[in-house]
Amino acid sequence: MPYRRLPTTDQARRRAMAKAMEIGSSKMPDNLAFSQQTLEKLRAFSPEFEKALANYKSSLEYQVLKNKDYGEVVRKARIYLSHFIQVLNLAIAREEMEPTDREYYGFGKDDNNVPSLNLESEISNWGNKIIDGEQTRVNKGGNPLYSPSIALVKVHFSAFQDAYHTQKTLQANTVRTLEQIAEMRETADNLIKDLWNEIELNYQYLSPKHKRQKAKDYGLVYIYRRNELKKANPEELQTDLIFEM
């Protein structure tokens, strides 16, 4: 025998409630297979659920859109920091600067490696060190480094910081809207369960096959288990909604 399956996705929940409200608006109360009280609950809850789904979709789409721009900003900040450190090491190799000058930027005097800048936290950490170090060294009489200059590094590092803050804010908004949906799912599931129980109870006097046919008009979903498909009556397979598990 096929069994009833409640919605398992947010879109399925939305469709189940929308179908019931559509029928509730087209039938007189006496001809409706569920109560007016349940219909009013649907009308009160469904728009809020729809709004939460729309907010999540909008937040996620905007986050993905801005993420494309963010990736380019991160790339530029990484390149300028890396190139500045390479110029620093070249200046020391040419003996235009002392190895101890590396210590202004947070390096050991013999450390001529470019640090990892793969992570956002690494870019943030080294960006601050490089900018502060160059300013301190120049204030003590050192000649500024160029190609790139620290001014250009600052421009791209500042853009990175702004974009990073924006991206984190967008991510937080997306998480918040998703959490709002998660909080509403239990209410949606209970409401749909009560709705479907009322509909099935209304048609309890019918045979199982005809009860399912009537209930399906209201959006109820019935499925066969895989091992039941071969045993099912061909006529029932034509009228029941079939999903293989």
The conformation of residue 193, written as its DSSP 8-state character, comes to H
Contacts 24+ apart (CB under 8 A), 44-51: 45/17, 45/184, 45/187, 45/188, 45/191, 46/14, 46/17, 46/18, 46/21, 48/184, 49/13, 49/14, 49/17, 49/181, 49/184, 49/188, 50/14
The conformation of residue 222, written as its DSSP 8-state character, comes to E
Q: Is 108 exposed, middle or buried (0-12, 13-18, 19+ CB in 10 A)?
A: exposed
pTM over 0.75: yes
The predicted structure's pLDDT at residue 60 = 96
76 within 8 A of 159, measured Cβ to Cβ: yes
Q: Is the pLDDT of residue 89 over 60?
A: yes
Mean predicted confidence (pLDDT) in 166-190: 97
Q: Is the pLDDT of residue 236 over 80?
A: no
The predicted structure's pLDDT at residue 224 = 84
The set of residues, in sequence order, having a beta carbon less than 8 Å from that of 36 and lying 6+ positions away, is 29
Mean predicted confidence (pLDDT) in 169-180: 97
99 within 8 A of 110, measured Cβ to Cβ: yes
Q: When comparing pLDDT for 108 and 242, which is higher?
A: 108
The residue ranges of every structural domain in the chain are 3-239
The predicted structure's pLDDT at residue 166 = 96
Give the alpha-carbon dihedral of 158, 163, 165, 168, to 10 degrees: -150
The predicted structure's pLDDT at residue 204 = 95
Mean predicted confidence (pLDDT) in 155-166: 97
207: number of Cβ within 10 Å: 9
Mean predicted confidence (pLDDT) in 2-20: 95
Mean predicted confidence (pLDDT) in 195-203: 98
Q: Is the pLDDT of residue 242 over 70?
A: no
